[in-house]
Homo-oligomer: A and B are copies of this chain.
């Protein structure tokens, strides 16, 4: 039966686009090398009709279907299980820009388009597509949609969800939902769009999307700020939001320890505030619709009043595009700096901004009590309440010894995030990695609602099984 399916797939989309799983090691391992799966076949359909045909063939053979974009996800959502029964669907051939409509400020692209290419297409048309994240050079918009990706521009423009107007989706039965609408307002029934976004390929296969475009800012200014405390940084953020309004497009937090790690791992890189005594820093970006001079004036007004009100310890304003890029490089290098220093325990959490100080103080202290000597490298998108609360090994111990306690330590961090009104996955999703954690933090009512939706849209449980929801239980419909 499985070899039947393999042949059927080859007939449907061409033999050269259907390969045995055993020949596709790179696609069967996730980016971190944490998950390794098997697949009956790795298939590369050419277009939406071929995706639908592949799904129908898989349904007929009851073969699970796993979709993969740029394979840059962090939760193992795009890696099939070890059964070898799955068909791994690569959407890289669905890479067309279908339409750009500058009067409507929309862009319709296929799921396999790489995020950076989409940004460039928009820019060439004099528009901004604001989604921006570390993996943008290789991640695809399909993956961004599947995980509702966040990144550095959420503060102003929202997550991928808020940037999307319409979708084209292949359903679990291999039908096509043509929902590529370019409308800002459309109240004609249930919001299927937002149900598919963030569902990590478990409810349907997103094949194309109509995205929102924005005016290109006329000027951007960047500053690197130093704070005497996290409390001060949070107060400054509130001040900056009021003063800059929608012009505030990024506010990225880093600790002094993060800066020290960057200096250590990238000695050739920028080193602002290298002798500063402050414990907290932030990268601030302002986008202006008027001019450089206007942006500069707004900067001086808001930073000036912040100094007067004691909301800021020190500030370094980039004087050129090169300086601005150097400051951004600090933030962008954080991921690699950690990698060079050895593995650490990563936590992608969000907390209401009003409770972030309390969360950090409580959790830092709690960790020292239970795991003496661990080192916090906390950074992230403070403007969205999203911290990458990462924890490295004690200097008197080893990475290996530290990592054996990953789940124990993580549970304490996640418990603390939850207790502070937060989320255990701000922007990375659930995938396989956080699957077993969900029931600890979501009510039975919510998990049941999710299961019902899954059963309704994928009754055979063929779409990315074992991701997001551990098991889809049957439920009596009678109360």
Q: Which residues does A use to contact B, with CB under 8 Å?
A: 56, 59-60, 101-106, 147-148, 150, 154-156, 158-159, 161-162, 171, 173-179, 181-192, 194-195, 197-199, 203, 215-217, 234, 238, 241-247, 287, 289-290, 298, 301, 350-355, 381, 384-386, 421-430, 434, 438, 441-443, 445-446, 449-450, 452-457, 459-460, 468-469, 477, 479
Contacts of A355 in B (CB 8 A): 104
Contacts of A289 in B (CB 8 A): 242-245, 247
Residue of B nearest to A191 (CB): B194
Given A183-B350, A195-B191, A195-B195, the answer on whether A245 and B449 have CB atoms closer than 8 Å is no
Contacts of A350 in B (CB 8 A): 183-186
Complex CA gap A233/B245 in Å reads 27
Task: Please determine whether A445 and B215 come into contact, CB atoms closer than 8 angstroms.
Answer: no
Task: Please determine whether B187 and A191 come into contact, CB atoms closer than 8 angstroms.
Answer: no
The 6 closest A-B pairs by CB, nearest first: A246-B246, A103-B354, A245-B289, A456-B456, A459-B477, A194-B194
- Distance to closest chain B CB from A157 (angstroms): 10
Given A190-B453, A247-B289, A445-B177, the answer on whether A234 and B423 have CB atoms closer than 8 Å is no
Task: Please determine whether B186 and A190 come into contact, CB atoms closer than 8 angstroms.
Answer: no
Task: Please determine whether B446 and A189 come into contact, CB atoms closer than 8 angstroms.
Answer: yes
Contacts of A101 in B (CB 8 A): 352, 354
Given A445-B176, A446-B192, A456-B452, the answer on whether A215 and B187 have CB atoms closer than 8 Å is no
Complex CA gap A195/B449 in Å reads 11
- Distance to closest chain B CB from A239 (angstroms): 10
Task: Please determine whether A184 and B243 come into contact, CB atoms closer than 8 angstroms.
Answer: no
Given A245-B215, A477-B460, the answer on whether A148 and B199 have CB atoms closer than 8 Å is no
Task: Please determine whether B189 and A450 come into contact, CB atoms closer than 8 angstroms.
Answer: yes
Given A101-B352, A101-B354, A443-B177, the answer on whether A424 and B188 have CB atoms closer than 8 Å is yes
Given A353-B103, A353-B104, the answer on whether A442 and B189 have CB atoms closer than 8 Å is yes
Residue of B nearest to A183 (CB): B350
A–B Cβ pairs within 8 angstroms, 24 of them: A102-B238, A148-B187, A154-B184, A154-B185, A155-B184, A171-B449, A178-B445, A181-B423, A182-B352, A183-B350, A183-B421, A183-B422, A185-B384, A186-B423, A188-B441, A188-B442, A189-B468, A190-B449, A192-B449, A192-B450, A245-B246, A452-B456, A453-B457, A459-B477
Task: Please determine whether A438 and B159 come into contact, CB atoms closer than 8 angstroms.
Answer: no
13 extra interchain contacts, Cβ-Cβ under 8 A, other than A185-B381, A188-B425?
A104-B353, A148-B191, A155-B184, A156-B246, A175-B445, A183-B421, A183-B423, A187-B428, A189-B469, A191-B191, A192-B449, A245-B287, A460-B477
- Distance to closest chain B CB from A296 (angstroms): 14
Given A176-B445, A195-B195, A449-B192, the answer on whether A186 and B426 have CB atoms closer than 8 Å is yes
Task: Please determine whether A190 and B203 come into contact, CB atoms closer than 8 angstroms.
Answer: yes
Residue of B nearest to A237 (CB): B103
- For this chain, the copies found in one complex come to 2
Task: Please determine whether B423 and A185 come into contact, CB atoms closer than 8 angstroms.
Answer: yes
- Distance to closest chain B CB from A400 (angstroms): 30
Q: Which of B186, B194, B242, B429 contacts A195 (CB 8 A)?
A: B194
Complex CA gap A123/B163 in Å reads 28
Task: Please determine whether B384 and A184 come into contact, CB atoms closer than 8 angstroms.
Answer: yes
Residue of B nearest to A182 (CB): B352
Task: Please determine whether B184 and A386 come into contact, CB atoms closer than 8 angstroms.
Answer: yes
Q: Which of B60, B195, B446 contacts A479 (CB 8 A)?
A: B60
Contacts of A190 in B (CB 8 A): 195, 198-199, 203, 449-450, 453-454, 468
- Distance to closest chain B CB from A441 (angstroms): 7
Given A246-B247, A289-B245, A445-B171, the answer on whether A188 and B354 have CB atoms closer than 8 Å is no
Task: Please determine whether B479 and A429 come into contact, CB atoms closer than 8 angstroms.
Answer: no
Residue of B nearest to A386 (CB): B185
Complex CA gap A296/B194 in Å reads 39
- Distance to closest chain B CB from A197 (angstroms): 7
Complex CA gap A423/B449 in Å reads 29
Residue of B nearest to A75 (CB): B187
Complex CA gap A434/B191 in Å reads 17
Complex CA gap A425/B422 in Å reads 36
Given A184-B385, A301-B290, the answer on whether A446 and B103 have CB atoms closer than 8 Å is no
